[in-house]
Structure 1
Amino acid sequence: MNKYVKIIIAVAICLTVGYLSSTVTQASIQTWYPTIVKPSFNPPNWIFAPVWTLLYILMGIAAGLVWDKLESDKELVKKGLFFFAVQLALNALWSYLFFGLHNLLLSSLEIILLLLIIYETFLIFKKVDKKISFLLIPYMLWVSFASVLTITIYFLNR
């Protein structure tokens, strides 16, 4: 399988996870989410879909490029893709905890774990190929911001 097919598969997986997460989000965005207190730095709702779409594409490209390095460093690539899969699952879980269950405490704790796993994925990808790891930096920055936002929302709504 060539590099571009791997990238397409990885991007499709990331976008699918994003889409499935958005189905949980959409139900609450019109009902529950407007009723909670949010900080002044909370972005407008319309910004989330394009930002997440771009992030899922960048994540998928990074994963596909790392996957393409499987023959050159099998153990490290497998480890990197394992951590990538874990962070992707945690990414989806956050939407369920926050928007599905409306559990602000659990989603605050979970997003910290998510950020740590993203960082570990970044470090492993960096060992595979430094340039590839740069594709995860916007994701780490956004989830860092989302962590602050989630935790702030928790404290504002206790």
Structure 2
Amino acid sequence: MASNSRLWSLPNRRPWLSLLFAIIGTELVGASGSIFTSMGLSTWYPTLTRPAIAPPDWIFAPVWTVLFALMGVAVWLVWRKASGERAHAARLALALFAGHFVVNIAWSAVYFGLQSLRGGLVVIVVLWALIVATIGAFARVDRRAGLLLVPYLAWVSFAAYLNYAFWAVN
């Protein structure tokens, strides 16, 4: 039990170290989806008809890097509350975040790995709903954490429309 309580209190005992850990950890987990992306990016994806709204491919990596960094800060803000009076709400919010991240990675696996535009569309709708739920759960713990996820929701909203547009023209 002692090591478990140390984990939850780390952000308050070593804030800069835990912030760095939260950001790098979120970036690494987020980047794991690129394993699936690389499966179809060089072979299958270029064969698709691109909808007019599709941005250049180079834009995705920097946007996702910034979004994952914002998510890492949001996770850190919630993690800081996981040993205080909002511990239960914080831990539930972090569990929801972890679950949503599985679906985030699943989108890459379905869209690029399985090369399924329709399947990707189904997954991204679920992802969008989980992001909304995560924003709500984070905001109940720390309003700033919820707000830090709003750009992510905006990007995934655009990505959902883009996924639909690719599906519609292919």
Which range, TM-score by smaller chain? over 0.9
How many percent identity over aligned positions? 37
Distance (whole Å) between structure 1 residues aligned to residue 22 and residue 96 of structure 2: 14
Structure 1, unaligned stretches of length 5 or more? none
Distance (whole Å) between structure 1 residues aligned to residue 75 and residue 44 of structure 2: 34
Q: Does 1:82 align with 2:90?
A: no
Name the structure 2 match of 1:29: 41
Retained in 2: the 8 A contact 1:6–1:68? no
**CA shift at 1:16, angstroms?**
1.1
Name the structure 2 match of 1:41: 53
The two structures have a TM-score, normalised by structure 1, of 0.94
Name the structure 2 match of 1:116: 129
**CA shift at 1:155, angstroms?**
1.8
| 1:72-93 deviations in Å (ceiling 9; x for gaps) | 3111101110111011111111
Distance (whole Å) between structure 2 residues aligned to residue 59 and residue 138 of structure 1: 10
**CA shift at 1:136, angstroms?**
0.4
The two structures have a TM-score, normalised by structure 2, of 0.88
4+ runs deviating over 3 angstroms: none
Bigger Rg over Cα: 2
Retained in 2: the 8 A contact 1:98–1:104? yes
Q: Does 1:53 align with 2:73?
A: no
**CA shift at 1:17, angstroms?**
1.8
Distance (whole Å) between structure 2 residues aligned to residue 56 and residue 30 of structure 1: 24
Distance (whole Å) between structure 1 residues aligned to residue 101 and residue 26 of structure 2: 8
Name the structure 1 match of 2:3: none
RMSD: 1.2
Q: How many residues of Structure 1 are paired with residues of Structure 2 in the alignment? A: 157
Instruction: Give secondary structure in 2 for the equivalent of 1:37.
Output: coil
Retained in 1: the 8 A contact 2:74–2:144? no
**CA shift at 1:152, angstroms?**
1.6
| 1:21-80 deviations in Å (ceiling 9; x for gaps) | 112212321111010122101010000000000000000110011000111311110111
Structure 2, unaligned stretches of length 5 or more? 1-9
Query: Following superposition of structure 1 onto structure 2, how do residues 58-77 of structure 1 map, counting pairs within 5 Å?
Result: 58-70=70-82, 71-77=84-90
Retained in 2: the 8 A contact 1:6–1:67? no
Name the structure 1 match of 2:165: 152
Instruction: Give secondary structure in 2 for the equivalent of 1:43.
Output: coil
